[in-house]
A and B are shown apart, each in its own frame.
Chain A
Amino acid sequence: DTAVSQTPKYLVTQMGNDKSIKCEQNLGHDTMYWYKQDSKKFLKIMFSYNNKELIINETVPNRFSPKSPDKAHLNLHINSLELGDSAVYFCASSQGSAVNTEAFFGQGTRLTVV
């Protein structure tokens, strides 16, 4: 009965490769997010989708392309991976479109680019 689930949990890949991370939420929420947590544990929002529509794109390189096939899914595709992309990526969801509501986070995907 996992609320927000993302796969894979670990991803090790070479520079230049393309990879995807999948996220699904079964909470019936309207809004989903992708956050990046760097090696110093700093959490920063990357994207926000409300009802499959992109509402926030926080100056993320074009190599990152989120895709929301429906309200319950928000996948993240990364092209031409770079060493600096190594981080933990968290998917999250919340009710409604306002940012002042509780966000439920997935367990994270640790991406290592070698």
Chain B
Amino acid sequence: GENVEQHPSTLSVQEGDSAVIKCTYSDSASNYFPWYKQELGKGPQLIIDIRSNVGEKKDQRIAVTLNKTAKHFSLHITETQPEDSAVYFCAATGGAVLSFGAGTTVTVRA
């Protein structure tokens, strides 16, 4: 099955700085790569996704890049704000199952 690795496990940034989270996957057939944000006491919520026919996608302060050759994808958050503090999960499709990374706890310092 698909194996998704996510780094770092924790990330502390100063408000206004950028945050980058990186993931690698094992199944070259994977074609869908979503990112979920989980706030304390809530369920994960999709913030952005990218498909294998696209190399980069941007939505306001959030961007995701995909390198299919190297089998890695990254989440970039610019101009971080306190409300960006949360746990972020990358995921990849592996057959009929969406496999998640282990999560990155992001803390934005005021």
Contact = CB atoms under 8 A, between A and B. Distances in A.
B103 A99 contact: no
Interface stretch (A13-21, A36-44, A67-75, A76-84): A36-44
Contacts of B31: 100
Nearest to B38: A41
Contacts of A106: 43
Contacts of A111: none
Interface string B59-99: 00000000000000000000000000001010001001110
Nearest to B94: A99
Interface string A1-45: 000100000000000000000000000000000000000111111
Interface residues of B, number: 22
Interface of B is mostly: strand
B34 to A, nearest CB: 7
A53 B89 CA distance: 28
Interface string A71-114: 00000000000000000001010000001101111111000000
Counting chain A residues whose Cβ lies within 8 A of the other chain, the interface size class is: 20 to 34
Given A42-B102, A90-B44, 13 more contacts: A4-B43, A41-B102, A43-B89, A44-B100, A48-B97, A56-B96, A99-B96, A99-B97, A102-B34, A102-B46, A103-B34, A104-B46, A105-B43
Sorted nearest first, the 7 A-B pairs with minimum C-beta distance are A105-B43, A100-B32, A43-B100, A102-B46, A41-B103, A105-B44, A99-B98
26 contacts: A41-B87, A41-B102, A41-B103, A43-B44, A43-B103, A44-B100, A45-B98, A48-B96, A56-B97, A90-B43, A92-B43, A99-B96, A100-B51, A100-B93, A102-B34, A102-B46, A103-B34, A103-B46, A103-B98, A105-B36, A105-B43, A105-B44, A105-B45, A107-B43, A108-B41, A108-B43
